[in-house]
Amino acid sequence: FGARATVELERMAVRESQRASQMQYRLLFEHLITACALLEPVFAVDGSIVDFRYLDVNPAFLSMTRMDPRIVIGRTIREMIPH
């Protein structure tokens, strides 16, 4: 019983640490005065990166780019800024 309880306590501590880290990241992200975007690469069949998809943007992103986050998130840079 003791070992099982210790493992569960360790799991709880790790989850709490992750939650605190995520909150800290979110606060930093939301309060930056410069535009910031979380992007994921879009790969071609050959494995090369051909674009990036917006996963999240901070509030300053709207004021600096005039692009509405509700429209941007989920789209690629090429969709938002065609060449």
Residue by residue, DSSP assigns 7-40 as HHHHHHHHHHHHHHHHHHHHHHHHH-SS--EEEE
The H or E element that residue 32 is part of is: none
Instruction: Give pLDDT, residue 39.
Output: 96
14-28: pLDDT as tens digits: 899 888 888 888 888
Residue 82 clears pLDDT 90, i.e. is over it: no
What confidence tens digit (pLDDT) does each residue in 46-75 have?
999 999 999 999 999 988 999 998 999 999
> pTM score, two decimals?
0.69
Which is nearest to 56 in space by CA: 14, 11, 25? 25
* 40 strand-pairing partners: 53
